Amino acid sequence: MRVQNIQNPGVTFNPRSNRNTAAPSFKRNWSEHASWGANYVKQTGKTNFKLFSFPDAKAVFVEIADKAAVKLANVKDRLVGILGLTGAAAATAGYSVSPVDDKSKIYPMENKGDGVFEAKGIKATPDDKYRYIVVTKDNDVNLVKDPYAKKQENIHGWSSIYDTENYKWKNTDWLEGKDPRRIVRKPNEPLRGLERLVIDEVNIPTLTKEGTFEAAKARIDKIAKKGTATAIELMPVENAFSKQWGYDGVDKFAVNENLGQAEQLKELIDYSHGKGLNVIIDMVPNHMGPDGDYLSQTGPYIKGSGEFGNLLNYEGDNNRYVRDWMSNAALWWAKEFKVDGIRFDLTNKVGSDYLLRQIAVEVNEHAPEVFLIAEDHEHKRHSITSYYAPPYITHDEQLEFVDGNVENNRKGLRTSPWSIGFDSEWDSQYKESVEKSVLEPNTFALNDLDNYIKTSHYRVKYGYSHDEIGNEDGTRFIPKYIARHFNLFIDVAGNSDAEKGQRAAHAAQNLAELIVSNEFAKMTSSELAKKEKSFGINRFISKQDLINVMETAVAKQKLMLGTVMTTPGPKMFFQGDDEADLSYFKFFRELSDDVDKREANPSLRDEIVRQKGYDTLESVARPDSVVGSVKTGGLYKTLREENIKFNSDLKKLLDESEVLAKGEMIGTYKDNVHMVHTHHLKLGNEELLVIKNFGYGFHSDNYSYYGFPQYGNWKEIFNSDAKEYGGSGYSNDDRTDINYKNQNLSLAPNSFIILKKV
């Protein structure tokens, strides 16, 4: 990564005290970060509350209920005594609010100015319920949960006071930096840098049948045993109504309790550390979920609605504490849950590069070991992973830099931070070039791959993530290739292209599941034809054609994963892809009124099924999406084991050859005639050639290319087509005479080999 030493014209450090001397001069030291929300003080047995609400709110109260009162109504008619004064009298009037019964107590919060309200020394203990009562300037009374709630059982209900001592961490060597398997953003021996990241992206609801933190530990055992990853990345566990993907979170500090308690998430993270796995957690800073979002009633947190939910007010009026709120959420996950890294969803849609810069500044100051990954999708925007600050600029001054320029932007004087300071980003352009080269090899795809493979060193490389699977039709790579190979789109019925596309995808999924079933090998042609017709396919596909396409699809998936794994820098695959899992990963979520809406209007379900090919209710779509739900047998009973061995052996090679982790890309070669691409890596005295055949031609002791290095002899150290991986066995492993003049390589279609200079 090249750090850009750029001064931003027009950008000044503008101390907040000079902008508004009447406002409280809060600093962003750690005690300030930790002061927000409800904070229980064990020594006193009391709780302090701090809320950012409307700067012009007339009054704010905190209501406390005993933890036993879980069914306490969340409605206004529980309250009496709200004085609805207006005009001049309202400016000086005292407000009082009382509950209608003795099940709760209400305390006024002191207005500290700038929209900050505090109440200290309140008699309340962990698991007690609380909510805020906000009297707006128009005398509206809003009953709201805490935007800083650390425990929120019901997205529409009361918040709960959180106990920070709910778990005792066991793997202290990991936390203290004594375990060499840990990966950090600022490597210090014996810790290691991000080039060692091999990420298994996982979704807790579909990682096991139970879909809980507790059950996930069994899957962590399997991931560790396979040895194919150095890290897991948890799709968001921010609180939402149901078990789901996680990108509809509305309580940014609270764990989704449909998956388990906060202490169970801590235990899972601790358990993963004990197995040598780094833990990355997803955050969603770009929007609020559409269900359970009360921020617009709480304060000026929202700036409008967007594609996925409400957008956040990071640079509008009264934005300072909104930015602090999201920055504090990142710090909360980093420090409270001891994660090793944070991945931020769709940073290009956050609407504020200054918010991203602030997050990087704060995490670097308060949790410097935690690395940050962006999903930015702006390959040319190198600022996301560059960081520049003059050495004399302190932490506070960097935040003043952010504050001052956000204020300039608010006034219409547009500025940019130029550099943001994340450590890595998802490389979607690399992903697209690899996918195209594997699915539809052609000159343009190979040119793109050649371009992006050279520039992806510090970015996270991947072939498929949850998006490529679930945002389309819920099917993985192998069914997608089957649908494309047979062009099933023209063989299925449908009233629209979208409907036909979904039906083709699900027909391919049914074919894939049939091919790996125990019954497939015994089926007669008539039985197979009948089965294919039941899948909606309007023509017959022979058994041999199905076997051929399956073998090609499996080989192509290994080629895709192999290309990713042999490109230096961080790498990622989606859960189960390292074992050729065929289970769906459907988009699923269930909002709190979804079932009632479907019952009242069945056409809603029908429309969703037309769009996605299935119902997206959690109870319907999640069970099909559990890893390993498709069992393999018959002709493919060893499919899982072969692919695990392939990926674990490749990972061992990665561990043994640092050149695959952080080597220099000293050359590439494109063979557009045969659809072969080669990249040449070097680190110290070690050199490797990775030769990838995206074409369909077999090369039997006869493949050579002009760009082969002119000096030295080479030997084969890895071949994706080996029989132990389910391949045909094409190999060069008995040769010691491979060189520029005597290449004559064997190279199977849809495979790759790795040669080492000797």
Instruction: Look up the CATH number of the domain holding residue 668.
Output: 2.60.40.1180
Of 476, 533, 534, nearest to 505 by C-alpha is: 476
- CATH code of the domain containing 343: 3.20.20.80
* One domain, residues 184 and 88: no
* One domain, residues 107 and 221: no
Cβ-contact 507, 492 below 8 angstroms: yes
How many separate domains does the chain show? 3
193's tokens: 């840098």
Residue 550 CB neighbours (<10 A): 21
Q: d(Cα 425, Cα 362) in Å, to the nearest integer?
A: 19
Over residues 362-385, the pLDDT tens digits come to 999 999 999 999 999 876 566 888
Q: Is residue 688 part of a domain?
A: yes
- CATH code of the domain containing 80: 2.60.40.10
DSSP state of 384: G
* One domain, residues 205 and 136: no
Over residues 150-184, the pLDDT tens digits come to 999 999 999 999 999 999 999 999 999 899 999 99
* One domain, residues 367 and 386: yes
529 or 98, which is more confident?
529
Final residue of a structural domain among 374, 399, 426: 426
* One domain, residues 213 and 351: yes
How large is the average pLDDT for residues 23-45? 83
Q: d(Cα 460, Cα 476) in Å, to the nearest integer?
A: 20
Strands 751-757 and 686-693: antiparallel
pLDDT of residue 70: 65
Helices assigned H by DSSP within 98-247: 172-175, 204-207, 213-226
Of 51, 59, 64, 60, nearest to 122 by C-alpha is: 64
Q: d(Cα 365, Cα 27) in Å, to the nearest integer?
A: 13
pLDDT of residue 189: 59
Cβ-contact 184, 369 below 8 angstroms: yes
Q: Is residue 402 part of a domain?
A: yes
Tallying the residues shown for the chain, one arrives at: 758
pLDDT at 351 over 70: yes
Task: Quote the pTM value.
Answer: 0.93
| Full residue range of the structural domain in which residue 154 is found | 37-160
Write down the mean pLDDT value for the chain: 91
* One domain, residues 155 and 236: no
* One domain, residues 359 and 216: yes
* One domain, residues 275 and 410: yes
Over residues 537-586, the pLDDT tens digits come to 999 999 999 999 999 999 999 999 999 999 999 999 999 999 999 999 99
Over residues 707-736, the pLDDT tens digits come to 999 999 999 999 999 999 999 999 998 898
Residue % of the chain over a pLDDT of 70: 93
734's tokens: 């008995």
* One domain, residues 103 and 223: no
* Confidence category of residue 20, pLDDT binned at 50, 70, 90: very low
Q: Is residue 319 part of a domain?
A: yes
Residue 606 CB neighbours (<10 A): 12
Cβ-contact 694, 446 below 8 angstroms: yes
Final residue of a structural domain among 426, 442, 473: 426
Of 341, 318, 614, nearest to 474 by C-alpha is: 614
Q: Is residue 492 part of a domain?
A: no
pLDDT of residue 378: 79
Q: Is residue 696 part of a domain?
A: yes
Q: Is residue 462 part of a domain?
A: no
* One domain, residues 327 and 278: yes
Q: Is residue 127 part of a domain?
A: yes
* One domain, residues 708 and 722: yes
Over residues 180-230, the pLDDT tens digits come to 999 998 766 566 799 999 999 999 999 999 999 999 999 999 999 999 999
Residue % of the chain over a pLDDT of 90: 80
Over residues 318-345, the pLDDT tens digits come to 999 999 999 999 999 999 999 999 999 9
Final residue of a structural domain among 411, 426, 441: 426
**Phi, psi at 421, each rounded to 5°:** 105, 15
Q: Is residue 148 part of a domain?
A: yes
* One domain, residues 189 and 120: no
Q: d(Cα 651, Cα 739) in Å, to the nearest integer?
A: 26
pLDDT at 307 over 60: yes
